[in-house]
């Protein structure tokens, strides 16, 4: 399997608390992405990175921030969690060239 | 109009049947196309890339119609193990971070 792991796998947190999700890759790929998946909406891009310290917003970036200080790690932070951020979060990596993404196993986040 | 649209299904087919899914996209500048398979509560996994000339991988055939802006996936001789949700993904220009936009998925149920 591709070297991409997400942590934690499951998390329950309270409204208003900050939460950080981690994506770690061992593939040395330049591109990394954070998506959320919700029924009826499918996968929606939150933020992405095209290199160390190079990040940009996706279509649903409000309430989220990211950081990439090393090639292998891409962190997603919910600054103040809300119930609308209850979702499954997937990280993905992409090799240079015409290749698709490889996804991590996902993080199931519940905000109560 | 959504950027990428799929019929959500479910498509219920008997084992051995041939089934086809379509996916339409709105951005005529799109340059990369993929089909993913997602099992329940799992991450999406790349099934196949879609090339302009069409491509086949065993029982699976993918085609691209740029004029009508859709991609298709044909599954022949369906197996019970093909039951899953099939997501199409469409990507823009390389300079745009290689981002993919996903459809909401089409659910396939293969029955005895």
Q: What are the 10-residue block averages of pLDDT along chain B, 112 residues in total?
A: 89 97 93 95 96 93 96 98 97 72 96 96
Residue-wise pLDDT for A32-49, tens only, equals: 999 999 998 899 999 999
- Residues of chain B with a CB closer than 8 angstroms to some CB in chain A: 32, 34, 36, 42-46, 49, 87, 89, 97-105
Residue-wise pLDDT for A74-91, tens only, equals: 999 999 999 999 999 999
Residue B102: the pLDDT is 95
Cα–Cα distance measured from residue A89 to residue B52, given in angstroms and rounded to the nearest whole number: 32
Residue A103: the pLDDT is 97
Task: Name which of A9, A39, A101 to mutate to probe chain B: the one with the most chain B Cβ atoms within 10 A of its Cβ.
Answer: A101
CB-count burial class (<10 Å; 0-12, 13-18, 19+) for A97: exposed
Residue A2: the pLDDT is 63
Residue at token pair 């519940």? A110
**How confident is residue A22, by pLDDT bands cut at 50, 70 and 90?**
very high
Assess whether pLDDT exceeds 60 at residue A60: yes
Rounded (to 5) percent helix, strand, coil in chain A: 5, 60, 40
Residue A28: the pLDDT is 93
**Whether residue A89 has a cis bond before it, omega within 30° of 0:** no
Cα–Cα distance measured from residue A86 to residue A38, given in angstroms and rounded to the nearest whole number: 9
Residue at token pair 């792991």? A5
Two structure tokens written together for A2: 């591709």
3 state DSSP class of B82: helix
Assess whether pLDDT exceeds 80 at residue A1: no
């Amino acid at each position: 399997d591709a070297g991409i792991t997400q942590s934690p796998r499951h998390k329950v947190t309270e409204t208003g608390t900050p939460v950080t999700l981690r994506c770690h890759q061992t593939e040395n790929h330049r591109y990394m992405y954070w998506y959320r998946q919700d029924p009826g909406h499918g996968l929606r891009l939150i933020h992405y990175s095209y290199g160390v310290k190079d990040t940009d917003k996706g279509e649903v970036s409000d309430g989220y921030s990211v950081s990439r200080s090393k090639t292998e790690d891409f962190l997603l932070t919910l600054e103040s969690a809300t119930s609308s951020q209850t979702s499954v979060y997937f990280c993905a990596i992409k090799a240079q060239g015409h290749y698709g993404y490889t996804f991590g196993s996902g993080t199931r986040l519940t905000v109560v | 109009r959504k950027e990428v649209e799929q019929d959500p299904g479910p498509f219920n087919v008997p084992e051995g049947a041939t089934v086809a899914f379509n996916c339409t996209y709105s951005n005529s500048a799109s340059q990369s196309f993929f089909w993913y398979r997602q099992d329940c509560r799992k991450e999406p996994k790349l099934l196949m890339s879609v090339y302009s000339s069409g491509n086949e991988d065993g029982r699976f055939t993918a085609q691209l119609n740029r004029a009508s802006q859709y991609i298709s996936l044909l599954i022949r001789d369906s197996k019970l193990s093909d039951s899953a949700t099939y997501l199409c993904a469409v990507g823009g220009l390389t300079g745009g971070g290689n981002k993919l936009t996903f459809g909401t998925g089409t659910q396939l149920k293969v029955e005895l």
